[in-house]
Structure formats: C-alpha cells, structure tokens
Amino acid sequence: MAQNPYNLLNLSCWNCSSSLPQETTTAPRLTAFLPKDDAIILSVVCAVASVIGTFGNSLVLFAVLKNKNLRNIPDLFITSLAFSDITVCALFLPMSINYFMQGVSAGGQDDVIFFSARSFFGYTSMVASATNIFAVTVDRVVAIRFPFRYMAAMTKRRVLVGIVAVWIVSVAFGFLYAPMLVSNTYIASYSCILLFTTMIMYLYIFIVAKRQENRIHQGTASDGSVAEKKVAKTIFTVVGIYALCWLPMLLLPAIANPSTNLAQVGRGHHWVQTLLACNSAVNPYIYCMRSMKYRTAFGQLLRLENCVNPVDSTQ
C-alpha cells in the first residue's frame, strides 16, 4: 500500500522530495524539517508541559482514588480523560523530546520501533482525549435536558461500559495508524467530527443554561440547576481550550500545501503538534481553578489549605 506523505502525529515523508531518500521505510532525519533552534525550544516546551501535566493529571487520578465524592458520573469521564492526558505527558512528550534533540537515522530497526511506539501513544491518547471530552459533553446534555431521567439513564455500569468502549476504539486507532497501515485521513475526520459535534452540543447546553438562568432570576429554578450550569461551564472551558489547540493543526494543511512546500509544513507541523499535545497538561488545572471539590481534594493531597476557596462551594 502506498504510504501517506503527511502523518498527522508523526511527520513522515516518502517519495516527496528529491533531497530525501526515495526508498526509505522510516521517517527522514529531523534536520530535514526542523532547525536546531526550533528543536531546542520545542524540547524545553515539551519538558515543561510533561512535568506540569504529569503532576496535574496524577493529582486528578490520586484525588479520585482517595475521595469517594469524586466518583460521580462526570468524574468517571474526567478520570478517563486524565488517564489519556497523563499518557501524553508522561510518555508521548518525553519521546518527542528525544525525537527533537536526537533525530533518527533512516532505515534502522530501532528507528521503526521508536516511531511506531511514539505514533501509537500519540494516536491512542489523541483519540481517547477527543472521545472522552465528547462523552463528558453527552453526559452534560442528558443531565441538563433530562434531569429527572438522568440517574436512571446514566448508571455507573453503563458509563463504565462506555469508557471501556472509548479505550477499545482509541487503542484500535493506535494499532491501525501507528504503522501507517491505512490513511490517517480517517482519524483526522473522526477527531474533527467529534470536535465540531461537541461544540454544537455545547451551544445547545448554553441555550438551555440561559433559560435556567432566567428562571433563577424569577426564583423558579432549583440549586441543582445552578450546580449543573457551573459544571457545564467548567467542561466548556476544557472543550474551548481543546478546540483552540486543535485549530492550528486543522488549518496548517490549508495554509501550506504539503505537496508543494513540504519543508514549511514539516516545520509548522512540529509546532502545532506540540501545542496540541500540551493541551493535555492544562486540563487538571482548569478543574482546580473552577471546581470546589477538586480544589478541596488537591489541597488535601498537597496539604495546602489555601488551595481551597470557600467561593463556589456548590461545585
């Protein structure tokens, strides 16, 4: 099967430049696309994001493990999202640093294993993050649209089955696309559809939330409606930042054509890919800033009383 010259997560080139080996089965050297200064800057960014993201997502996982009040339905999806994010921060970003600083030689078996492993973790965690955020959004739509049926519809057993399905799909994508067995157009289309569908659902959520706000002003809404709106805003922040990190990746092929300006696309790809990966480092801090129960749990784990703010205690 012909290889795809533009790999979404791991830029590779086959038969697309006369200055590069024409019959290689692995990616060309890093210096073919990325200047040394860019490699150093991206390595520093990846190192900082890796440390911050691993620490933050570890806090989320330990907080859920230690606190039973963090095991509600939305928290299960957030836990799954944190697990996918820690995969990026603890595995993919360090491997990216090695890629940026060392490069690879063409044709070695070790290089094939390295690129396959890096691509597998990148594809799997990217699909898992997008699908988990989509699942969280569906959960919020059900909670706001059908509040009285929510507990019966979204049982923990069904949610756990859904999370397992998310990871089966994500790992399947990783196994299929890491060795470039098929075109990565499918994974790009899948992620784009999830992203835009999520944004449409959030538009609906905030239309409903606006109606609830009007009822609050009229004194007819319950405290539960206020809490649901606060949770929705928190997750909307996560989705919004995720979308901003995705946009450069989606717009890059439109700005620079890979078939005519491969060097520019290759250089830009590393930057937008790093931005997308760094998104996994910020999600747990969004929870800490906006969610009282996560601030409390983080404060208990770190023994920092000032992490807990009495404001927004309904979250």
* Residue 209 in tokens: 């939330």
Q: In 3-state terms, what secondary structure has residue 5? A: coil
Length of the chain: 315
**With contact defined as beta carbons under 8 Å apart, do 206 and 250 qualify?**
no
Q: Which residues contact 119 (CB under 8 A, 6 or more apart)?
A: 7, 9, 10, 174, 177, 178, 179, 180
Answer yes or no: is pLDDT of 13 > 50.
Answer: no
User: What does the alpha-carbon distance between residue 171 and residue 125 come to, in Å, rounded to a whole number?
Assistant: 8
pLDDT tens sequence across 243-256: 788 778 777 767 76
Looking at every residue in the chain, the average pLDDT score rounds to 75
The dihedral built from the CA positions of residue 187, 188, 193 and 196, taken in this order, carries a sign that is positive
Model confidence at 55, pLDDT cuts 50, 70, 90, reads very high
The three-state secondary structure class of 3 is coil
The domains found in the chain, sorted by start residue, are 33-307 (1.20.1070.10)
Cβ-based neighbour number of residue 187 at 10 Å: 20
- Kindly report which listed range (4-8, 150-154, 286-290) carries the lowest average pLDDT score: 4-8
Summarised one tens digit per residue, pLDDT across range 21-46 is 333 344 444 445 677 788 889 999 99
Residue 95 tokens, joined: 């491997």
| Chain position carrying tokens 């890059």 | 252
Which tokens hold the place of 143?
């909670």
Nearest to 127 by CA among 93, 176, 161: 176
For 262-315, the DSSP string reads: HHHHHHHHHHHHHHHHHHHHHHHHHHHHH-HHHHHHHHHHHT-GGG--STTTT-
pTM: 0.76
Distance CA 1, CA 273 (A): 26
Residue with tokens 């095991």: 71
pLDDT at position 15: 30
Q: Which DSSP category does 34 fall into?
A: -
- Count Cα neighbours of 76 within 13 Å in the Cβ-side half-sphere: 18
Write the DSSP symbol of residue 256: S
Q: Does residue 23 sit in helix, strand or coil?
A: coil
Q: How many CB atoms lie within 10 A of CB 134?
A: 20
Q: Kindly state the average pLDDT of the residues 107-127.
A: 75
